[in-house]
Amino acid sequence: MPRAQPYDRDAALDAALTLFWRKGYYATSLKDIEAALNMKPGSIYAAFNSKETLFGLTLERYFRKQHADFVSTLKAAASPLQGLADYLRRFARLPLDDPQRSSCMLVKTLLGATEQDAKLGELAGQYIDQMIAEMAAAFEQAKQLGELPGEADAAHLARRYQADLTALGFEASRRISREELAVSAEELAQKVEAMRVRQT
């Protein structure tokens, strides 16, 4: 009776991503995964090596999406600083039931990781560092375009920007209204825009 239809790896990973994002690594059981991917244990272990490997793949997937999203927002903006501000404002426009409102998966993973099973936490940390590096590159570019003063510390600004983003994501995960979230996002966005050197 076996061999129903070959699984769709992309769809499976998307389903696993949604599941892990919602429930986290530890609270997600193989039963949950079987149901979400519509796969039996054997298939799951043939396709991915273990629960941990599968989680790692979904984490990478999540990172790629976030990263691509950030990069494209920056590219679409008139300037680096404008792009950084726009990216913050986008948060406020997310619908209340959007999965993004359940806080950044990287942050959840980092905070949820224990020291004896440190691999996942370290992985999440590395991805966050890559995001920070991308943000630092944007601030650096702003410097070279004369948007920021030459003495600005791009690395520090990037760390603070990422921290603000984390805090905003945390606010979003609470039960606050869209208006309140929009106000917070607007404040942070204006803080970024206020860094701009008045030119001529």
Q: Which residues form the interface with DNA (CB under 7 A)?
A: 1-7, 28-31, 39-47, 50-52
DSSP-assigned letter for residue 146: T
From the list its own copies, DNA, none, partner contacted by residue 31 (C-beta under 5 to 8 A by kind): DNA
From the list DNA, its own copies, none, partner contacted by residue 103 (C-beta under 5 to 8 A by kind): its own copies
Q: Which of 197, 200, 183 is nearest to 80 (CA)?
A: 197
Q: 61 vs 159, which CB is nearer to its own copies? A: 159
Please choose, out of 20-28, 33-41, 51-59, 143-151, the segment that lies near its own copies by the rule CB under 8 A: 20-28
d(C-alpha 127, C-alpha 47), whole Å: 24
From the list DNA, its own copies, none, partner contacted by residue 10 (C-beta under 5 to 8 A by kind): none
Cβ atoms within 10 Å, residue 108: 20
Q: Does residue 48 contact residue 92 with C-beta atoms inside 8 Å?
A: no
Mark residues 133-172: x for contact with its own copies by CB under 8 A, - for none: -----------------------x--xx--xx-xxx-xx-
- Of 76, 149, 183, 190, the one binding its own copies (CB under 8 A) is 183
Contacts of 171 (CB under 8 A, 6+ apart): 180, 181, 184
DSSP alpha helix (H) spans, 77-177:
80-92, 105-112, 119-144, 154-173
Query: Is 65 a binder of its own copies (CB under 8 A)?
Result: no
User: Least distance to its own copies from the beta carbon of 163, Å?
Assistant: 4
Query: Is 110 a binder of its own copies (CB under 8 A)?
Result: yes
Q: 116 vs 177, which CB is nearer to DNA? A: 116
d(C-alpha 57, C-alpha 52), whole Å: 9
d(C-alpha 3, C-alpha 6), whole Å: 7
Distances (CA, A) of 80 to 64, 83, 142, 188, 199: 20, 5, 6, 15, 15
Question: Which spans of this chain sit near its own copies (rule: CB under 8 A)?
Answer: 22-24, 26-27, 103, 107-108, 110-112, 114-115, 117, 125, 128, 156, 159-160, 163-164, 166-168, 170-171, 173-176, 180, 183-184, 187
